Amino acid sequence: MPEKEILKDNERIDQLYSSDVQIIQNPNCFAFSLDAVLLADFVRPNHRHKLKTVDLCAGNGAIGLFLHQKVGGHFWEVELQPQIADMATRSIKLNHLEDRYTVLNMDLKDVNKTIPKDFADIVLCNPPYFPVTPASQTNPNRTLAIARHEITTNLAEVVTQMSGLLKMNGRGYLVHRPDRLAEILQELTTHRLAPKRIRFIFPKEGRNANIVLIEAIKDGRPGGIKIVPPLVVNEETGSYGPEVRRMLYGK
C-alpha cells in the first residue's frame, strides 16, 4: 500500500532496522519509545509455529511487531484507544503480517471475552507507569495521559490479566519503573507469577536506573531470580552505546 494512502494526519513511518519493521507513529497521540525496543530485545527467542502471544496495552503494536522474526506463532494486540489500535492495524498491513497478528480494540479488563484464560504462551506488557494521585501532573492531551498514567488501568489489573491469560509455565514480560519494583514483585508473586529474570537499564554511567525489565513464569518455582548484566543506554558523548545501537540498527 502506498505510504500516502496508509498515513493519516500528523502520522509518519519509522523503521526499526534490526527487525526490518516499519511502524506508523503519531507524536500527538502515541509513539513508541526505547522502552518498547528494550522489552522486545529482553524476550527469549521462541520459533514454535503454534505459539500464542498476547501484547497488553499494545499501543501501535510496536513490541509485537518487533518480535515477528524472534517469536513464532500468532500475536494478539490488545489496545484500548481506537485511534492507536487503528495505527497498529495499519502498521501490521504495512509489514504484510496480517496472517500473524490480530488487533483487539478493547479494555484489557474485558480481554477474556475474546481470549480465554490459560491460553497464551507469552504475555507482554508496556503499561502506564505512573499512578494517579492528587499531586499528579497528567498530560492535558488525554490520549497521551492514558498511555502514561494509570487512568484506565493499573499495575494490579495488568498483572491479574497477565496471569489469567498465561498457561502454566507460560512467560510474562513487563517493562516498568524501578521505583515501583517492590510493588511489582509483590503483585507478580500474589498472582502466581514467579519472577525469574530482571535487568536494570541506566540512562548513563553513574546515574540511577530508570527502567527495569522483568520476566516471570506462571506457577514457576519460587526463588532462583537472576539479575542479569545491566545496560547503559548512552555513552558520555550522549550517543547510544553499542548494545542499544545493535537493538535499533542490527549488527
Distance of CA 71 to the CA centre of its chain: 14
Q: Can you spell out the DSSP letters for 72-86?
A: -SEEEEEES-HHHHH
CA atoms within 13 A on the CB side of 154: 8
The confidence score (pLDDT) of residue 128 equals 82
Q: What domains lie within the chain, and their CATH numbers?
A: 3-249 (3.40.50.150)
Contacts of 207 (CB under 8 A, 6+ apart): none
User: Regarding beta strands 231-232 and 193-202, do their DSSP bridges make them parallel or antiparallel, or are they unpaired?
Assistant: parallel
Q: Exposure of 58 by Cβ count < 10 A (0-12 exposed, 13-18 middle, 19+ buried)?
A: buried
DSSP 8-state class, residue 90:
H
The DSSP secondary-structure symbol of 46 reads B
pLDDT, position 151: 65
Distance between CA atoms of 17 and 69, rounded to whole angstroms? 12
Cβ burial of 9 (10 Å; 0-12, 13-18, 19+) is exposed
**Among candidate residues 243, 248, 185, the one with its CA nearest the CA of residue 214:** 185
Helix (H, G, I), strand (E, B) or coil at 55: strand
- C-beta separation of 103 from 79 below 8 A: yes
* pLDDT computed for residue 153 by the predictor: 79
CB 73 within 8 A of CB 51: yes
Q: How many CB atoms lie within 10 A of CB 79?
A: 27
The pLDDT tens digits along the chain (251 residues) read: 555 579 999 999 999 999 999 999 998 888 888 999 999 999 999 999 999 999 999 999 999 999 999 999 999 999 999 999 999 999 999 999 999 999 999 999 999 999 999 999 999 999 988 676 666 566 565 665 555 656 677 999 999 999 999 999 999 999 999 999 999 999 999 999 999 999 999 999 999 999 999 999 999 998 999 999 999 999 999 999 999 999 999 98
Nearest to 25 by CA among 95, 80, 93, 87: 87
